[in-house]
Amino acid sequence: MKIGVAADHGGFEMKRQLAKLLATEGHEVVDFRNAVYDADDDYPDFTIPLARAVAIGDVKRGVLVCGSGVGASVAANKVNGVRAALCEDHFSARQGVEDDDMNILCFGGRTMGIALAWDCTKNFLDAKFSGAERHRRRLAKVAQLENSTMARRNDRQELQAIGPK
């Protein structure tokens, strides 16, 4: 499978190890950088190019690493068509694909060990979206938000209509 990887300084070493393991397993790995350790780099500079590549199909799936995995997932999910999540167990890494069609997996290089990250990665890559009607229906509701140029205005109107007072 063609897989993109990317990381800032917080995930640099884990990304390097994961890229090596993925290549050993026969995957085609595209490295969206950072190519060198830079303690001052910013995760959006690497996560967003990878997220865009996943969204347009240049790579099939992505693995992102930052210090906690939070910034990477927040940034990646701003790109239309991306469904990214931080997973720290193999059940979520697999079910995130089967039910939610997750296409980017995020890790915290400072919060997880490589053995767990690799276990999650293998489950993520082995899994396929089930295509079940209920999951398609739920994903369609999420995708609706992406497709609307009025999304922000709708957010405000909906919050006023149904949100907490």
SS3 label, residue 125: helix
Name which position in 68, 92, 103, 121 contacts ligand RB5 (CB under 6 A).
68
> Near ligand RB5 by CB under 6 A, which window of 65-73, 88-96, 118-126, 155-163?
65-73
67 vs 101, which CB is nearer to ligand RB5? 67
CA 50 – CA 131 distance, rounded (Å) = 25
Measured from the CB of residue 4, what is the shortest distance to ligand RB5 in angstroms? 18
Between residues 34 and 121, which has the closer beta carbon with respect to ligand RB5?
34
Residue 58, helix vs strand vs coil:
coil
In the complex with ligand RB5, the residue whose CB is nearer, 10 or 62, is: 10
| 8 is a site residue for ligand RB5 (CB under 6 A) | yes
Contact 70, 10 (CB under 8 A): no
Q: Does the footprint of ligand RB5 cover residue 62 (CB under 6 A)? A: no
66 touches ligand RB5 by CB under 6 A: yes
CB of 36 to ligand RB5, least distance (A): 16
* DSSP string across 67-90: SSSHHHHHHHTTSTT--EEE--SH
Give me the long-range contacts of 145-150 (CB less than 8 A, separation at least 24).
Answer: 146/80, 146/81, 147/80
List, edge to edge, every strand of the sheet that includes 2-7.
Answer: 28-31, 2-7, 61-66, 104-108, 84-86
Among 22, 29, 34, 43, binds ligand RB5 (CB under 6 A): 43
Distance, CA of 141 to chain centre: 19
Q: Is 10 in the site for ligand RB5 (CB under 6 A)?
A: yes
107 in contact with ligand RB5 (CB under 6 A): no
| Interacting residues with ligand RB5 (CB under 6 A) | 8, 10, 43, 66-68, 70-71
